[in-house]
Amino acid sequence: ERSASRQAKKKVVAVVGGGLVGALNACFFANRGFDVELYESREDIRRAKVVKGRSINLALSHRGRQALKHVGLEEKIVSQGIQMQARMIHSLNGKQSPIPYGKKGQYILSVDRANLNKELLTAAESYPNTKMNFDHKLQDWNAETGLMTFVRSDGSKEQAKADLIVGCDGAFSAIRKQFLRRSRFDYSQTYIPHGYMELTMPPINGEFAMKPNYLHIWPRNTFMMIALPNLDKTFTCTLFMPFEEFEKITTGDEVIEFFQKYFPDTIPLIGVNTLQRDYFRLPAQAMVSVKCNPYHIGDVCVLMGDAAHAVVPFYGQGMNAGFEDCIVFDEIMDQFNEDFSAVLPEYTRVRVPDDHAIADLAMYNYIEMRAHVNSKWFIFRKRVDNILHFLMPKTIIPLYTMVTFTRTRYHEAVKQWHWQNKVINRGLLLSAVGAVLGGSYLLIKHPPDLSKLIVSAEEMWDRLVALRTP
């Protein structure tokens, strides 16, 4: 009866939202023996056919993998992903330049979103102390009593209570609505002028149309396209462009004209008909950046994933950050012996600076990519990063390496990056000053015979003239 009484004492945790973070969180809480009730507005996607309008595949990196490892899912998910060892930069002239992410073992993974969500839901459901409630859309909840109201697709309503409510209901979270009504709740959201559209690059003769183990990028300043490989040998290409540019392209010919101008090498790879069909299949989707603080209310409710911090995708970290939220919360549960009144405030204190840092980084990278990142610049910057890292591996760690391949706290990675920039800029400044001082010293010490210099310049001129005279 000891376990029965222990079981009776165990609290009920309601996870609202059965997307990537909610489904994973259900596993974390179920692992701890809580009674988990998962509520998801959509039908069970394992029965539905296609989930439209979301990014079809995503880049999974270290932070996300560590969270999956925590619930014993890393191997399974990694085995269903495709390794991307390097970026493949496509220049306007069709030249392809690979830039490795790091040493051999350092790669990121392209994983299918729907498949990942299904695996996570199945894992959550496998716990005897987890109940899945699909077709349950949270309409409202009460911060004092923890009472939630759900509406079903047949219009009926259901109420439920929980000891802890975990809001994982995405960027447009209904749970967060209650937070907005309370004083001292900071909230900001920014829609960027760019939209994104997904296009499929089919296999050619049953084979990948491009090299599969790469994150393909076509950086064109205002425009950008990236492509991630899928297990069915297709690529999902994501085109990023200002909405006003999307709106200018209204006919099939204009689509081809546009791609001919900016992404000519992709036309034979995607195919004219596929390109024209996919381009008009769905409208371009918006991208929003949401920051808020605090992430909790009392000992009753906590926000995680996009519900707490939706980020623009220009670092491939949204899901990875949401997955890392689950590990951080779990670690704090250990520290404070699952006492929600201590765990929740500590989670806000620890996690807000990091999730705000990755939101800022992603936005910074968006502005940087939009401003002046074309192929040459991208290649140059990444090569400089890699050379400096090679020369001073302990001192200079590229920012994307800290973000993508370590669990360095996001806000500490940013601090380290600012410090490194100062050192590099000062270093460059010093070497520039050194060169000027050294050069002028040599000029003073050994002044060149200016007359000889002029002669050789004249001689050069004569030769040039001779060259051009037919």
Which stretches of the chain bind ligand FAD, using CB under 6 A? Answer: 16-22, 39-42, 55, 58-59, 137-138, 168-170, 174, 196, 238, 287, 305-307, 313, 316-320, 322
215 is in the binding site of which of ligand FAD, ligand EGU, none (Cβ under 5 to 8 A by kind)?
ligand EGU
Query: Residue 130's beta-bridge partner residues?
Result: 36
Q: Considering CB distances under 5 to 8 angstroms, the limit depending on partner class, which of ligand FAD, ligand EGU, none binds residue 195?
A: none
Binding partner of residue 42 among ligand EGU, ligand FAD, none, CB cut-off 5 to 8 Å per kind: ligand FAD
Name which of 136 and 216 has its Cβ closer to ligand EGU.
216
Q: Which is nearer to ligand EGU, 110 or 130 (CB)?
A: 110
- Is the distance from CB of 159 to CB of 150 less than 8 angstroms? yes
> From the CB of residue 44, how many other CB atoms can be counted at a distance below 10 Å?
14
- Residue 351's closest CA among 285, 270, 295? 295
Q: How far is the CB of 219 from ligand EGU (least distance, A)?
A: 7
Chosen from ligand FAD, ligand EGU, none, partner binding at 400 (C-beta under 5 to 8 Å by type):
ligand EGU
Per residue in 15-35, is it b (16+ CB within 10 Å) or e — as a string?
bbbbbbbbbbbbbbbbbeebb
Quick one: angle between helices 318-335 and 20-31, nearest 10? 20
The entry of ligand FAD, ligand EGU, none near residue 328 (CB within 5 to 8 angstroms by kind) is none
Kindly tell me which of 21 and 344 has the beta carbon lying closer to ligand FAD. Answer: 21
Q: Distance between CA atoms of 102 and 109, rounded to whole angstroms?
A: 14
Q: Which does 170 bind (CB under 5 to 8 A by kind): ligand EGU, ligand FAD, none?
A: ligand FAD
Output the smallest distance, CB 56 to ligand FAD, in A. Answer: 9
Question: DSSP of 441-464, one letter per residue?
Answer: HHHHHS---HHHHHHHHHHHHHHH
Residue number with the shortest CB distance to ligand EGU? 316
Rank residues 406 and 425 by Cβ distance to ligand FAD and give the closer one. 406
Nearer to ligand EGU, 70 or 90 (CB): 90
Rounded-to-integer distance, Cα 298 and Cα 225, Å: 43
Minimum distance of ligand FAD from residue 1's CB (angstroms): 37
CA–CA separation, 227 and 214 (whole Å): 9
Minimum CB separation from ligand FAD for residue 138, in Å? 4
DSSP lists the bridge partners of residue 199 as: 237
Sequence letter at residue 3: S
Q: Minimal distance in Å, beta carbon 217 to ligand EGU? A: 4
Smallest separation (angstroms) from ligand EGU to the CB of 314: 4
- Least distance between ligand FAD and beta carbon 17 (Å): 3
What does 314 interact with, of ligand EGU, ligand FAD, none (CB < 5 to 8 A by kind)? ligand EGU
Tell me whether residue 16 or residue 397 sits nearer to ligand EGU (CB atom): 397
365 binds, among ligand EGU, ligand FAD, none (CB under 5 to 8 A by kind): ligand EGU
What is the rounded distance in angstroms from the CA atom of residue 97 to the CA atom of residue 202? 22
Nearer to ligand FAD, 18 or 146 (CB): 18
Which of residues 323 and 400 has its CB atom nearest to ligand EGU in the complex? Answer: 400
- Distance between the two ends of the chain, CA-based, in angstroms? 106
Query: What 8-state DSSP symbol labels residue 392?
Result: S
> Which one of ligand EGU, ligand FAD, none is in contact with 404 (Cβ closer than 5 to 8 A by kind)?
ligand EGU
Q: Which residues of 184-208 are buried (b: 16+ CB within 10 A; e: fewer)?
A: eeeeeeeebebbbbbbbbeeeeeeb
Can you say whether residue 420 is alpha, beta or left, with left for phi > 0 and alpha for psi between -120 and 50 degrees? alpha
Separation of alpha carbons 448 and 439, rounded Å: 12
Instruction: Give helix 62-70 / helix 318-335 axis angle, nearest 10°.
Output: 50
Binding site partner of 413, from ligand FAD, ligand EGU, none, Cβ cut-off 5-8 A by kind: none
Partner from ligand FAD, ligand EGU, none binding residue 212, C-beta < 5-8 Å depending on class: none
Query: Least distance (Å) from ligand FAD to the CB of residue 318?
Result: 3
Q: Which residue lies nearer to ligand FAD by CB, 41 or 85?
A: 41
For ligand FAD, the closer of residues 238 and 276 by Cβ is: 238
DSSP 213: S
CB of 282 to ligand FAD, least distance (A): 12
CB atoms within 10 A of CB 453: 10
CB 323 within 8 A of CB 109: no
Residue 322 · residue 21 · CB < 8 Å: yes
State which residue has the least CB distance to ligand FAD. 19
List the structure tokens of 419. 């410090």
- Contacts with ligand EGU by CB under 6 A lie at 55, 57-59, 87, 108, 215, 217, 226, 228, 238, 313-316, 365, 369, 400, 403-404
